[in-house]
Chain A
């Protein structure tokens, strides 16, 4: 048992996958709490498709996919915010349009160019594709997210609970919205290499949903989401290593199981009042 764990960690790609994955899971859970509770879950999903399109574009143009995709996805996320705030198109239809179009454009570009890219590795992720720059990016990202969370935790709570009130007492809600869109974009682009663009949004959404089935205070929801996120990630990655299944799908399935358990718990122990 111990031998096989040592063997697992002897591969560089597994070490990277664990480090990048744990950091991304941590950030995804922190940002996810606010997105889910403000009912913006679909933004992560929409942006992941945009990321797919932009990575495909970058590959065809022969430029570095991450460096190209991060700013592009951030710009799209700002556009979504802007249009969402003052437009007749409702937020969810807007995101549906953007995500379907990006996916279509990405696939279209790849096939027209006939480039030899493995679409599957973008759609469903591939831990083999992680390199050193992914590690550096994810360390910087997670440091930033953790510091931001610590210094503005109370403001993040106020905005998440009631953004109109938060605005009325002088909190710069628009600034925080932009920061969160940026973070969400970076998480999506980095996480997409690991679990794939079709599955990355689940890392943002699942831990919070699981956690709010059990916990009823914001602080415990935040902390437990992070813990759940890291546990489900490491379990999923380890499982996928041993039974040779796709990493992204395995992590999502572990998350699903955790969610179902928490849901059953909430029915058994909380509805009785």
Chain B
């Protein structure tokens, strides 16, 4: 994709963020800053609030307390959710799916420009799916479909990219290809935040890590954040709610 100039404007500031389901905190009093242009992994055990935090950054969930201030507008964000909400049986072609990524420029009614058509083709070859243009998405495997969604993200050309468990159920080779794309985004100066549960992947490819187990455990350079002591703390998190939890008083 075309080399985007370094997008240094605005990171993401999280101030005392608490996000709740049914009043129980899924993310509890979390503060910190995602630097612009950084490549950050959100890691932690199951139920640690990783996806919840990502959704809050995305703007889909509202924090019960605290603030998330983004140096990005909504149209600057490319978001790859865990593929639950997509209707895979819908009769749409691979190319049309990728071209949805041009939405910021084409919108609901304008024509999709020739440039975006070419970019869509390039994006498909970048994820190794040349020749799949006319295939219906229903005929793709899970890994191929994930690559289509990556191609759509490529076309979106967003300065902030949020990925929720992007490599789940995907074979090693495809994962490597997709990680290459993520690294390239980082090289182009985009801010990338990915929710991951595979610590080895995080260590290998992500310079920054936010380790969370409902509370923030550690946030900083990956090797420090994922120290054995921190991982032990994260693992000790009780996964179930305390049904009789008291109201959390503001810290004095």
Binding partners A and B: no
